Structure 1
């Protein structure tokens, strides 16, 4: 008898229908006997784990009640097939006994919950068609929508919301009072947040047990690119902080103002103003840093190219009379030694300056968010662009023939000189402005410190 049971389990592992039929001919009650004698996985559980569809079909056709047998974790075969994503096996097991869709394991999870957590789209779709009310069960006060967000299963979330189309269920709160938007914001799931705000009736300003809205949840997460995207999405959707105050407008005033369709006027708080100003400041700095990165990369590429391929090119042959005339050496040192020194110094300065900018921008240092640092980057960029301008002038001077084109040299020098002068004036202006602002803040701080002392002397 033990040998027959062993053969049955081996047949379930392999999905061997012939062995199953042979064993059933020898002992028609072998399936019931195995179920009674063992408290772990039944052959149907094993076949469901491996997705042996034909084996499952043969077993439940003969013994449909086996679809409700539980293993040691109180899981029926449909739990296993759903968690593994075996859609065809799910169809067979759910059709054999639809009550299996409502069965809960030791963790309180039914088959559709397991499929949703694992992201098995087709399985969820099949179970929703078979037993849609199973998706409305709660697991420790979490709905299936909460679990989809917690496990970042956006496709399944979209499917469930579309099929259920239930505003109340969509806005159900968990044990902590969080709706699914709270959870999505806390986990910075940008795509999920945009889906909920744009295509569903989620309550944007619902509060949890701590009195926090989705905007309050956002204030707790680290500030990065996702933070900025979520802030923009929530702001467009009308999200506010929980402490924002609302003043009701009298009915007659609302009628006179043409605001019958509005019930409340929102009064922004100081915290909200500060957050908006900080967000705008961060956006501005991010745009400036991105622009500097692009320009610095371009100038570094130009400087590298000019350094490895100098004006007039390189010698193509050796000369016994001139030690500088060697194959691969620059032609310019032989013909214009002084200008070549200027060229090398300016080109290297521009190259190193732009590399410094790139290194600082990608370093992620905390002080990079201050405007003073942006001024330092601007000065460094001025040095780089000025150096590259002089490099260009030297190149034009060397490559322009004389004496017929002497006027072209002077025009190039004049235009570039004017440009450098304007850029220098701009940098000086910004420097004076920063110094003026810093001095103003310093004087204000001194007045603030001295004010209590002066008041004490007046009182005395």
Structure 2
């Protein structure tokens, strides 16, 4: 590199830069033609000359990806602690966070090792969340590095980001060259707080390393009592092992089915995704309309002046109740079982296609779709000719719903929030109400919600509290009274 250019880069003198370019118009081009080279951008990044660096970056954007001694300009800026320059880099190109330098380390890996300097880790993950999936040449993730270097603050930020991602389980259970997950490392180093964080982020405590050891066995080797206590977790080892085997079997079966439906769904173009959402929206609308206007209509009262009395579902012993479908029992089941299949499958596919949407907007849509599914289910129950038909339809809908949940398990494409709302509405209400009162059913449903959403604190808390108030405190009765008063 030209000596004058080096001096200008160290001093951050933009005027000298253009004087040099005026004398030799190819001075930057010559550097660009070399694959691995020390560029003026590297020098400016190391010395904190932000304005000069931005000027060079505007002239030669490719310099940002050049490596010199295994480091790119953003690596140097991060190591030197020049926060403003780093932020300007990722503002111009967020993918600079994923540049792999020496040993395959990215700037995120460096931050994970030295600590969350000036909140840069948060900025990296905000700009490019997928950088958390990057690994080094020894297959270590940022989680491995943070755990190895006892960076609890870093791990907390990483876990917080991972929990929002569908690939959470994949990243947290990634193995390094020795087959160790981050959980193994935390167990070896006796880091109880890190163990709790990782376990709450779907870390598999049954995973083994190259020596065939689980995290618990690693902790036992090092006599790490706190870690042993946390990793044992369950007071009934037999039940815990059975649960693990059952989960693995479900995952294996679900993966086969999921691959048929969700394969390459992430690679769908925006145009195709929008077209599919329109088609799915039409299917949802059509099947929902069938629950509002059943074929042939519904039974009417004998006299228009006669007040309408809706007969509760459990009291419908024979067809002909006012407001129920005029279809025969067998025809009703055939028609609405098929309609239910279409609705539920469409519901899940729609949830899966919402994945690229912004998190807050997507959550709102997921909740609204869940409420729509609940209304559809309730509408079918309302028009069922007899109680036995309603129960049959409910059993079938529960089976279909559970099967679809299993199908969606493998690729984590579907919102847990939506599934839990619909599942807790569909699954226990009728079957349990046959043997217990409404309040008992409500308690069981709330408990199921807690089990499903225990690792999503705010969403789970809001949903459980709201659901409890709705079913336990008698809000529907209050609403009815208000309507009567009005």
Q: TM-score, normalised by structure 2?
A: 0.43
- Whose relative contact order is higher, 1 or 2, with alpha carbons under 8 Å and at least 6 apart? 2
Q: TM-score, normalised by structure 1?
A: 0.45
